[in-house]
Copies of this chain bind each other. A is one copy, B any other.
Amino acid sequence: MDIRQRLATNLRRLRLEKGWSQEEFADQAGIHRTYVSDIERGARNPTITVVERLARPLGMSPSELLA
């Protein structure tokens, strides 16, 4: 699995574990909902700074989100 797909799978799983919609999560991460949707489909190649923003509301490190 390539790294974009790994991020996609992890993000979707962790967001759903929190019971958050994409929109709720996007608001917390400070990222547009469509961008979250694209990342969860593996359709984006985000920078490490974006990964840091995704990880924060999940209470995880960027490294864990890519593991």
Contact = CB atoms under 8 A, between A and B. Distances in A.
Contact of A47 (B2, B46, B63, B67): B46
Give the secondary structure class of A's interface: helix
Contact of A63 (B2, B4, B45, B66): B66
Nearest to A51: B48
Contact residues on A (Cβ < 8 Å of other chain), bracket: 10 to 19
A37 B38 CA distance: 31
A61 interface: yes
Contacts of A64: 63
- 10 nearest A-B residue pairs (beta carbon): A63-B67, A63-B66, A45-B47, A3-B52, A3-B48, A63-B63, A45-B49, A3-B62, A47-B47, A62-B66
